[in-house]
Amino acid sequence: MLDVARVREDFPLLKTGIVYLDSVATSLTPRQVVEAMDRYYAEYRANVGRGIYELARRASEAYEEARRAVAKFINAEGRGEVVMVKNTTEAINLVAHSLKWRKGDKVVTTLLEHHSNYLPWLKCAQRYGVKVEVVRPSREGFLDLGEVERVVDDNTRLVAVTHVSNVLGVVTPVKEIAEIAHEHGALMLVDGAQSVPHFRVDVSRLKCDFLAFSGHKMCGPTGSGGLFIGREAWSELDPVFIGGGTVEEVDVGSFALLSGPARFEAGTPMIAEAIGLRAAVEYLERLGMDSVEEHERRLGRRLHEGLAELPGVEVYGPEPRYKLGITSFNVEGLDPHEVAMILDASRIAVRSGMHCAQPLIKRVLGLARGTVRASVYLYNTEEDVERLLSAVEELARSVGRHS
């Protein structure tokens, strides 16, 4: 089990007394990550892959060590390449606009998706004539594998599915969906923004061709993230951005791209951010991802069940055993933003609104104004959850008295 009291010492922001329950949007950053980035700026600030002097060599080595650490974290070593990106959104768009689309290609996705794994495919439909088909989940967020099998056919070029819903917390059967995709010769992209930070993710077990994730949701800095590209999918891509750092050779009227992941990292990359992401990965590994998951599921269960027991509160999504520590809810008679503002006055930070998932919230949940969303992470405590439950209970009771 996590020593949460010890963990909290690494997060200076928690000393302000805030109850931070918005880690699904962005996690807090431990001091070890900040210190690693500070060392780069203070001790060996130089560009990577550009020079042979000591500082440049040291910076280049640190950058590539970060790539190797991230690859190891998702068990990608020897299975493909990891491209360093700014976030999940950039990673998915990189795939969307680097794939060599063919006439008649189809993309299959779902209504569970964050906009970052939905809008790029609509853009591909506009720009390249790609057909997009969407699988509708149940109100609890479950995907019907029979429906997936019906929609995925031999014209399907790519299946793009979230691993964990950022609204409902439901864990999707991405391995089984990948098997369906591969039966038809399609590629499989997994949006791991809400899975990689919270439990052990192994790209070999998922059988995915692409895995996209963000550093800022896993104790890392903003502007950091990764895109895993499997070996079999490598030849399917033609980089959308090229320039400095992406080429082996340039001549008048011709060029040859590098063979490794740098071919997708045009220009000066996010060096300090990559170094910070490595520190975050190592921090999570020291804690143990199994312990992180167990802690989060325990708190998430209490959060979901506690809210579901309150009169005047509606909770969305499946029962706790099918999801992580994400719970969306509404208080009868109050707009989600009103609830979030009132909780903020008590130093409780939650998210409110559409959560960049409007099709899910409007078409599946049938809500016009969104939800309130609370999410727990490795530094949250039972006391944090109880403070939220008490505040929401009082709020719902107050609304009931005045209605």
Alpha-carbon dihedral sign for residues 193, 195, 200, 202: negative
Instruction: Indicate whether 97 pLDDT > 80.
Output: yes
Please report the pLDDT score of residue 402 as a whole number.
Answer: 64
CA distances from 309 to 7, 174, 259, 306, 320 (A): 30, 31, 56, 5, 14
Query: What is the length of the chain?
Result: 403
The question of whether 219 is a catalytic residue gets the answer no
- The domains of the chain are located at 4-21+288-402, 32-286
Q: How far apart are CA 23 and CA 111, in angstroms?
A: 22
Judge whether 87 and 223 are in contact, CB under 8 Å: yes
Q: How far apart are CA 14 and CA 10, in angstroms?
A: 9
**The pTM is what?**
0.97
Please report the pLDDT score of residue 252 as a whole number.
Answer: 97
Instruction: Indicate whether 55 pLDDT > 70.
Output: yes
Mean pLDDT in residue range 249-275: 95
Residue with tokens 């969306």: 328
Q: Which residues of 114-136 are buried (b: 16+ CB within 10 A; e: fewer)?
A: bbbbbbbbbebeeeeebebbbbe
pLDDT (tens digit, 9 = 90+) per residue, 305-324?
999 999 999 999 999 999 99
CATH number for the domain running over 4-21+288-402: 3.90.1150.10
Judge whether 98 and 239 are in contact, CB under 8 Å: yes
Topology of domain 32-286, CATH: Aspartate Aminotransferase; domain 2 (3.40.640)
Confidence band for 212, pLDDT divided at 50, 70 and 90: very high
Residue 390 CB coordination number (10 Å) = 13
Choose among 335, 334, 310: nearest CA to 394.
310
pLDDT (tens digit, 9 = 90+) per residue, 312-371?
999 999 999 999 999 999 999 999 999 999 999 999 999 999 999 999 999 999 999 999
Judge whether 50 and 56 are in contact, CB under 8 Å: yes
Choose among 7, 66, 60, 14: nearest CA to 221.
66
Instruction: Indicate whether 120 pLDDT > 70.
Output: yes
Mean pLDDT in residue range 180-189: 98
Instruction: Indicate whether 50 pLDDT > 80.
Output: no
Please report the pLDDT score of residue 403 as a whole number.
Answer: 59
Catalogue the long-range contacts made by 39-47 (C-beta closer than 8 Å, 24 or more residues apart): 40/271, 40/272, 40/275, 41/272, 47/268, 47/271
For the chain, the average pLDDT equals 97
Helix axes 271-287, 54-73, angle to 10 degrees: 40
